[in-house]
Amino acid sequence: MKRTEQWSRFDAADCLVTEADMVAYLQAALEDGDPALLTAAFEDVERARAKLRGQPHYTLEELLARCDPSVTAASEIDWGSDVGLERFE
């Protein structure tokens, strides 16, 4: 009898349940330096935040600021010109 394998789609957002998870994930993407990976990481974090509505809420800027300990305000984040992202106020 042929065995049928069942697969489920992996979603990184399901694993990002705490602020620390999100910060570590974004740090890894920033360290890699690949703009496509960074964009995908932002999307994963946004999906994770949407799933956690009603629980502790962290803005994307707050999470990014935690990626660089030298940043004292969200406005000091170096967004980089090569990743194709815009900062919205």
How does pLDDT run across 2-20, given as a tens digit for each residue? 788 888 888 999 999 888 8
- Per-residue model confidence (pLDDT) at position 41: 92
The per-residue b/e assignment along 12-23, b for 16 or more CB within 10 angstroms, e otherwise, is: ebeebeeeeebb
Burial class (CB in 10 A: 0-12, 13-18, 19+), 61: middle
- Per-residue model confidence (pLDDT) at position 49: 86
Give the Cβ contact number of residue 30 at 10 Å.
18
- Per-residue model confidence (pLDDT) at position 56: 58
Q: pLDDT (tens digit, 9 = 90+) per residue, 37-89?
A: 988 999 999 889 888 876 656 677 777 777 766 654 545 555 454 444 444 43
| Separation CA 77–CA 59 (nearest Å) | 13
| Separation CA 27–CA 41 (nearest Å) | 10
The full set of domain ranges for the chain reads 19-76
